Amino acid sequence: MKYLTWLLKAAIFFALFAFALNNQQEAMVHFFFGTYWKAPLVLVVLAAFAAGLAVGALGMVPRWWKHRVAARRAVAAHPAPDAQPQLGTTPHHGL
């Protein structure tokens, strides 16, 4: 199974590497006010992917924060029992 996962990782790497090699031509991205960015197409695609990840993660922050606050309130309302029992309360099984 370990070799199968390494084989899958290698296949994904070589597919992405071939994609990068096949998309080296220049691409121009036009921004506002006449500004633009010239870069290889693979970098433009990578930058768009990274920007999408960042925007998606930032969009999730308020929900993560809300769930974190709710989890803290739940723990405060219902504290977990002590992890270690107190002396004298553990049943003895005659070991």
| Domain count along the chain | 1
> pLDDT tens-digit profile of 19-51?
888 878 898 988 899 999 899 888 888 899 999
Q: Tell me if 23 is assigned to some domain.
A: yes
Q: What is the pLDDT of residue 50?
A: 94
Residues paired with residue 38 on neighbouring β-strands, in sequence order? 28
- Percentage helix, strand, coil, to 5, in the chain? 65, 10, 25
Q: Tell me if 34 is assigned to some domain.
A: yes
Q: Tell me if 41 is assigned to some domain.
A: yes
Q: Tell me if 82 is assigned to some domain.
A: no
Closest CA to 16 of 49, 56, 52: 49
Domain that holds residue 53: 18-76
Q: Tell me if 69 is assigned to some domain.
A: yes
What is the band of 91 on the pLDDT scale with cuts at 50, 70, 90?
Answer: low
Q: What is the pLDDT of residue 1?
A: 84
0.75 exceeded by pTM: no
Q: What is the mean pLDDT of the chain?
A: 84
